[in-house]
Amino acid sequence: MPNLDLLVTFLAIHRTGSLTAAAARRGLTQPAVSGQLAKLEQELGTPLFVRSGRGVVPTAFADDLAARVGPHLDQLTVELDTGSQVSGTVRLGGPAEMMAARILPALAPLTSRGLRLDITLDLAENLLAALYDDQLDLVMSAIRPKRGNVVVTTFVDEEFILVGPPPLARTIDAARLAEDPVKALAHLPLVAYDRNLPIIRRYWRSEFGRRPPNATSITVPDLRAVLAAVVAGAGVSVLPRYIAEPALTAGSVEILHQAQVQPLNTAFLVTRPGGLATPSIALVHDQLKARSRVWGAL
């Protein structure tokens, strides 16, 4: 089993995409990082990275290794680093709903250690554009970036469920729902996040093989507001479980359909190459990765 230092250095290289950036993050010289990488590759008996014009590209084995050891090392780093002070401001972007429900509660304890957070709330495309323009340091993105000059880390899976208030749930014919769910649900008005119904449409296509024929009663670009409208009886909607969970527990909404394969959307943490060499950005990144293990599928 490789020692911890080698694995920490490996993870720094994997996340920064550069030996130089990994050395800065680890507080080591580049030759020292190269030596540790060579030793780890020798112990594992396989190359981990291929050099490119922009740094290094991980092999498939390296990606698998990072996925296996990364969460454990993140948790260990956070636990060992609890009392240390940190300076600097991290410019963090993400969707308003997840920021309020998960991200800020997870990061708030770091502010007592001197960290400052500058939060931007927006859609993923706009946040990634701001990251490319050096206006943000770290983005929680609901889509995988298409550009290659960023460092992308898988963050957490969002689980989506179809929910509605009990009075509307009682209007669904169970036998028809099993036989023809699209027709069984067609009379229910939809509460949507966007006019194009991106979340609802994806659920219908994934589960039923077609777009929803339902009328839309309310369109509002905030998932918390969508839930409030559903609870108030305006219609039904597809929501991340972490948004709907309090209302499910209270009994103010019900799950209307049990998916054969639960629809998931993977969220990513995205930063620029070398960004994780900055201690404050690395701390936020590692804290979120550590907490994501506790959250599981949201």
Alpha-carbon dihedral sign for residues 240, 246, 247, 250: positive
**Do 281 and 275 meet the contact criterion of CB atoms below 8 Å apart?**
yes
pLDDT, tens digit, 9 for 90 and up, residues 209-257: 999 999 999 999 999 999 999 999 999 999 999 999 999 999 999 999 9
pLDDT in tens, 170-194: 999 999 999 999 999 999 999 999 9
Percent of the chain with pLDDT over 70: 93
Q: Where does the pLDDT of residue 68 fall: very low under 50, low under 70, confident under 90, or very high at 90 and above?
A: confident
CB atoms within 10 A of CB 189: 18
| Neighbouring residues of 7: CB distance < 8 A, sequence distance ≥ 6 | 40, 69, 73
Quote the CA–CA distance of 243 and 226 in Å, as a whole number. Answer: 10
Helix (H) / strand (E) element for 179: namely helix 174-179
CA distances, 117 to each of 83, 89, 90, 93, 186 (Å): 18, 5, 5, 10, 45
Assess contact for 37 and 19: CB atoms under 8 A: yes
Confidence of residue 162 (pLDDT cuts 50, 70, 90): very high
Give the integer Cα–Cα distance in Å for 295 and 298: 6
> What angle is formed at CA 154 by the lines to CA 152 and CA 80, rounded to 5 degrees?
95
More confident residue, 68 or 92: 92
pLDDT score, position 140 = 95
Distance CA 207, CA 2 (A): 44
Tokens of 178: 């099993």
Q: Are strands 138-141 and 264-271 parallel, antiparallel or unpaired?
A: antiparallel
Residues near 281 by Cβ (< 8 Å), separated by ≥ 6?
Answer: 90, 137, 138, 271, 275
Average model confidence (pLDDT) across the chain? 88
Are residues 262 and 122 in contact, defined by beta-carbon separation less than 8 angstroms? no
Other beta carbons less than 10 A from residue 87's beta carbon: 10
Whole-structure pTM value: 0.70
